[in-house]
Amino acid sequence: MDVLWLDQNDVRSLLNIPDAMDAVEKAFEQHGRKKVQMPPKSYLYFERHNGDLRTMPAYLEEQDVAGVKIVNVHPDNRQKGLPTVMALFVLNSTETGAPLAVMDGTYLTDIRTGAAGGIAAKHLARPESRVLGIVGSGNQARTQLLAIANVFDLEVVKVYDVNRARAEQFEQDMESKAGCGITVCSSIEDVCDCDILVTVTPVREPIVKREWIKPGTHINAIGADAAGKEELEASILVHSRVVVDDIAQASHSGEVNVPLSNGVIKVDNICCELGEVIAGIKTGRMGDSDITIFDSTGLAIQDVATALLVYNAAKGKLVGKKLPMF
């Protein structure tokens, strides 16, 4: 029995934002209709190394395919010349349980996370949104921009990073891809003067204040993906329509996790899950003045859907290496 091995160059050659957005949106809809199996991600914490390791399994019933991602988050890796997030994905046959493919999950993670942000903005932001603000300028910021620009006719992108040189590199690399001008801002407050705000930082103390967020803003809160992390002042959540990717997972590792544990908000304050909005079961934005928040923790269904897309494309284009299992 052979297993298909796809390295990062293979995955990059086979995966793009528009196709990933389509696959991930369908996976979210299935999640909203309870057509998936997906336990919350599990964590191993390496405090001495300021990092963690996570396992993320899921089963998509309609596609009849399953898989698991093993992924780390080590913020200090940047100083070591390594990605802060690295991942490996295994796609499995549900008929036999055998692995169909093993592939790089690092680029896959970047793309599927960006895809989810674009989908959330599509369903929750005001259709006439033209100004995008981004706090943080790493890999996740890049794919968020690409996905949102795939949905909205952006006129300007504002970006802030604690490392201004990194933000300026982001401007240089992404301006042509964004299709509009990118402005490097000197403060987070300046960035928050926007229609859609994306936060993609690893902070554990809020950096976005309530008074900076104007009515009608949509926020993609991407950075909080583990217990104790939060990017937004809790009062923002109190006065917003909060949509999570998965309530069970977000409750212990999303933007809502700290306000929930502190009693600032309750689970009842969470509007719904994104899949329910996509499926037409629940309503996200009620009016133009609503502040909406998408709390993204990253779901295993996103990985399975995207990996299946890559696997099928690889078979069709004869990309990758077949490795013997036995």
Instruction: Please give the DSSP secondary-structure letter assigned to residue 49.
Output: G
Please give the Cα distance from 33 to 279 (Å, whole number).
7
Collapsing DSSP to helix, strand or coil, 133 comes out as strand
Tokens 């790493």 belong to residue: 138
Q: Which of 116, 135, 295 is nearest to 200 (CA)?
A: 135
Residue 177 appears among annotated catalytic residues: no
Instruction: Please give the DSSP secondary-structure letter assigned to residue 254.
Output: S
* Antiparallel, parallel or unpaired: β 51-60 and 65-73: antiparallel
Collapsing DSSP to helix, strand or coil, 99 comes out as strand
- What's the CA dihedral at 145, 197, 153, 146 to 10 degrees? 10
Catalytic residue (choose from 26, 35, 41, 69): 69
- For residue 186, what are the contacts with CB-CB under 8 A and spacing of at least 6? 160
**Active-site residue list:** 69
